[in-house]
Structure formats: C-alpha cells, structure tokens
Amino acid sequence: SQKIEQNSEALNIQEGKTATLTCNYTNYSPAYLQWYRQDPGRGPVFLLLIRENEKEKRKERLKVTFDTTLKQSLFHITASQPADSATYLCAPLYNFNKFYFGSGTKLNVKP
C-alpha cells in the first residue's frame, strides 16, 4: 500500500520567513496531489492541487512543487505570518477516488 510521509516534528519559523514543508511518497506517483490546512478541532481546508505533469503551482503566497523522480512534493509559504500557524496535510490521489492523507506537519510562525 502507499505510504505518505510528512515530517512529524513541528516546524518553527520566524514571521516573514519562508516555510517549506515536505511530503514524500513511496511506490508509484499519484495522478494528483492536494495540500490542505487543518486548524485544531476543524476539518481540513483545501489549498492547492498539483498534477503529475506539473512541476510547480502558485497561489498568492503559496507554492507547491512536484518531483516525480524524488517522489516528493514541497509546499512553500512565503512571507509567513502567525495566522499561517496550523497543520498542513498532503493528500495524493492514486486510484480513482481514494485519497491518502499524510499525518501532517504542524507549522508554528512566531511573531
């Protein structure tokens, strides 16, 4: 079965810096990969989607990359703000309709 790995240790950064989160997967590449944000006690909220044939996707301060050779996706938040503090989940889509979520990385942005 597919294994999705995200850094379980929290990422602590200073406000204004760029946060980079990693999502590694095993076996074959997914057709799509989504990134979500989750705040405590709430359901995940969709941020970005990147397709297998795309190298990079941007949305405002967010950027996602997809490297099928390294079997890795990177999620970047530039000019980070304390309001960006949350857990970020990656979710590759493999077979038809089943998403596998990583365990998430908690981001702490300190003012």
Partner 1 sequence: DTGVSQDPRHKITKRGQNVTFRCDPISEHNRLYWYRQTLGQGPEFLTYFQNEAQLEKSRLLSDRFSAERPKGSFSTLEIQRTEQGDSAMYLCASSFGWEGNEQFFGPGTRLTVL
43 lies in the site for partner 1, by CB under 8 A: yes
Calculate the alpha carbon distances from 92 to 31, 67, 86, 110 in Å: 8, 13, 20, 29
Taking the CA of residue 7 as centre, how many other CA atoms within 13 Å lie in the half-sphere pointing to its CB? Answer: 14
Residues 6+ away with beta carbon under 8 Å from 55:
65, 66, 67
Query: Which lies closer to partner 1 via its Cβ, residue 102 or residue 109?
Result: 102
Contact letters (x/-) for partner 1, 70-99, by CB under 8 A?
A: -------------------x-x-x--xxxx
The verdict on 9 binding partner 1 (CB under 8 A) reads: no
Contact call for residue 34 and partner 1 (CB under 8 A): yes
Positions touching partner 1 (CB under 8 A) are 4, 6, 8, 31-32, 34, 42-46, 49, 51, 89, 91, 93, 96-104
